[in-house]
Structure 1
Amino acid sequence: MQTALSTVLLDVPRAAAIWLALLGVAAVAVAALVVRPNLFRSVAGGRIREAAMPSLLKDAAEERERRRYAGELAAAADRTAATARRLRADWLAAQEDADTAWQAYEAAEADVRRLVTAAALPRPHTERTPAEYADRERYLHRAAREAYGRGELSAEQLDDALAHRNGWNPRLHPVEQELVLHRAVRDHLRARQRAAREREQAAWRAAERAAVGARSLRDEALAAATPTPQEEPLLPGGIDGRSTAAERGREAAAVTREIPAVGRGQSTVARGRATVPA
């Protein structure tokens, strides 16, 4: 009995020491958690974060690429809009030239009709002498040169008048010579009006293409700048049959190279044509 009690009493200090050691370890752990709560985070959580990091980096790179292409598209849209404005001014100038040429042609046509009526009336008789024919020839040459100086005859028509070719006859009565001259003027102004009309139409088409290109680039820039929701790719490698924002940016930027950047621009179309904002 005394021996058993002695044995128990001998083990009490050892047990107390073990319990004190355990309490000390627990206190140290609690203190560490209070001071540094992230010290004992789950290793599994760290591994998950490490696995997700490449995906986050890829998303950030794609975002930078998207913003870069959006900026390039916006700059291209601004350049195309400036070209459209220059082309619009060029078209307006060509339209004004066409209107002026048309008015000149109408006036020449009215003069021809008036002279046709006058030529049908009886003409005063003149002596057909060499001096009279010389006067008629001088009148024809002088009238042709004056019309050429006003821009009413071409150089070829003036050469024909001075060489008496293609209907230019110095022996005709002055009334008939005046009719021949005004018919030549009318033909020249009609050709000039048609050429001015063709230039005006070409300028309008170029301005319209520039305006459409500018609008398309603006739409593409807006689409590239707007983030799209992530979707599961239908094919391996992220290819889902649709172009990415970067690819759309490259395709839209190619529009700028197809637009002629000459002259002054156009953004609206008047006189019966649809308005196209630049």
Structure 2
Amino acid sequence: MNILAEMLLTEPAPMAIWAALMLLTLPALVVLASPHNVRNPGRALIDTVGFLRRRAERRDEELRRRLEEALQAARYAEEIQVAADQAGWAAQRWQGSWEGACERVDAAWRSWQAADARRARSRATAAFGTPYTAKTPAEYAYRERFLHRAVQDAVARGELPTEALADALSGRNGWDARLHPADQERVVQQVSADYLARVHERAAEAERAAWQDAASARRNRDSLIREAAIAEARAASLNHLIPTGATAAQEAFRPVFA
């Protein structure tokens, strides 16, 4: 018996012959296993074939299910990786937008502080009073030109909004061309400081909003990266279920009994 076992384990040909014999004798064993089958061997063989067919169908169905699961896992891993890459690019863009907003806040702060310093110096010089000038038509024309030029220059430097020039030309919203040029200069500096303070406030609000957007983009990116890693691991664990080619896939699902 030991010699027979050793031969079956070491020689492939006898092992194949033995397996074929076992397969061929399976119907006979099924028939002899029950007295009912001995009395009706034809029905027993039909039942055996049906049993084997159903078993093969269940196996094929299970293989199809596992293959579909593996394919879905692979597709999802690819899609979630693409989404993670896009989220990474979006996070970089939002980060760049926030950095630009920070630079604008710094620039607005410096402009505001410079304008506020000029306003403080102007207020200090106001204590010395306004120089006397004769109130002639030529003087009033000069004052008007001075005001228009001062406002226009401030608009060009970004220290006043563009609509301020139209207001100064029309004498609206506190612009008075009859004032002495020294007083007009103080008004321009006052309005400029107030305007630049509002510009800085809006820039700070935009920076805070940009920070929130950048933080949200980073969280979305990190979440998708983690999800992509999990999906990739699951797809890798099921990858062995996917046939390497169309022929292999057809062979995997070919029924045992045609």
Name the residue aligned to 1:150. 157
* Pair 1:41–1:100, CA change in 2 (3 A): farther
User: Any idea what SS the aligned residue of 2:173 has?
Assistant: coil
Q: Deviation at 1:34?
A: 5.5
User: Any idea what SS the aligned residue of 2:174 has?
Assistant: coil
Is 1:105–2:112 an aligned residue pair? yes
How many equivalent pairs are there? 197
Q: Write the distance in 2 (CA, Å) between the matches of 1:134 and 1:69.
A: 77
Q: Write the distance in 1 (CA, Å) between the matches of 2:216 and 2:149.
A: 48
Q: Write the distance in 1 (CA, Å) between the matches of 2:101 and 2:224.
A: 27
Name the residue aligned to 2:69. 62
**For the Cα contact (< 8 Å) 2:108–2:196, is it kept in 1?**
yes
User: Any idea what SS the aligned residue of 1:169 has?
Assistant: coil
Q: Write the distance in 1 (CA, Å) between the matches of 2:188 and 2:152.
A: 11
Q: Write the distance in 2 (CA, Å) between the matches of 1:35 and 1:132.
A: 121
Name the residue aligned to 1:122. 129
Q: Write the distance in 1 (CA, Å) between the matches of 2:60 and 2:182.
A: 97
User: Any idea what SS the aligned residue of 1:147 has?
Assistant: helix
Is 1:38–2:45 an aligned residue pair? no
Q: Deviation at 1:82?
A: 0.8
Q: What per-residue deviation string (whole Å, max 9, x for no partner) do you get for residues 1-20 of structure 1?
A: xxxxxxxxxxxxxxxxxxxx
Within the candidate set 157, 162, 169, 1:162 is matched to 169
| TM-score under structure 2 length normalisation | 0.68
User: RMSD across aligned C-alpha pairs, in angstroms?
Assistant: 2.6
Q: Write the distance in 1 (CA, Å) between the matches of 2:85 and 2:119.
A: 51
* Pair 1:176–1:220, CA change in 2 (3 A): same
Q: What per-residue deviation string (whole Å, max 9, x for no partner) do you get for residues 159-210 of structure 1?
A: 1111222221122122211110111211222222223223322222222221
What residue ranges of structure 2 are gaps of 5+ in the alignment? Answer: 1-12, 31-50, 236-258
Name the residue aligned to 1:263. none
Q: Write the distance in 2 (CA, Å) between the matches of 1:127 and 1:69.
A: 85
Within the candidate set 213, 222, 247, 1:215 is matched to 222
Letter in 1 for 2:161: S
Q: Write the distance in 2 (CA, Å) between the matches of 1:150 and 1:126.
A: 29
Q: Deviation at 1:142?
A: 1.4
**For the Cα contact (< 8 Å) 1:140–1:177, is it kept in 2?**
yes
Q: Write the distance in 1 (CA, Å) between the matches of 2:229 and 2:122.
A: 64
Higher Cα radius of gyration: 1
| TM-score under structure 1 length normalisation | 0.63
Q: Deviation at 1:123?
A: 3.0
Q: Deviation at 1:53?
A: 4.2
- Higher mean displacement: 142-151 or 128-137: 128-137
**For the Cα contact (< 8 Å) 1:70–1:224, is it kept in 2?**
yes
Q: Write the distance in 1 (CA, Å) between the matches of 2:198 and 2:144.
A: 27
Name the residue aligned to 1:191. 198
Q: Deviation at 1:49?
A: 6.5
Q: Deviation at 1:35?
A: 5.8
Matched-pair identity in %: 39
Q: Deviation at 1:139?
A: 1.2
Letter in 1 for 2:150: A
* Pair 1:126–1:58, CA change in 2 (3 A): same
Letter in 1 for 2:166: D
Name the residue aligned to 2:254. none
- Higher mean displacement: 33-42 or 138-147: 33-42
* Pair 1:34–1:60, CA change in 2 (3 A): closer
Letter in 2 for 1:185: S
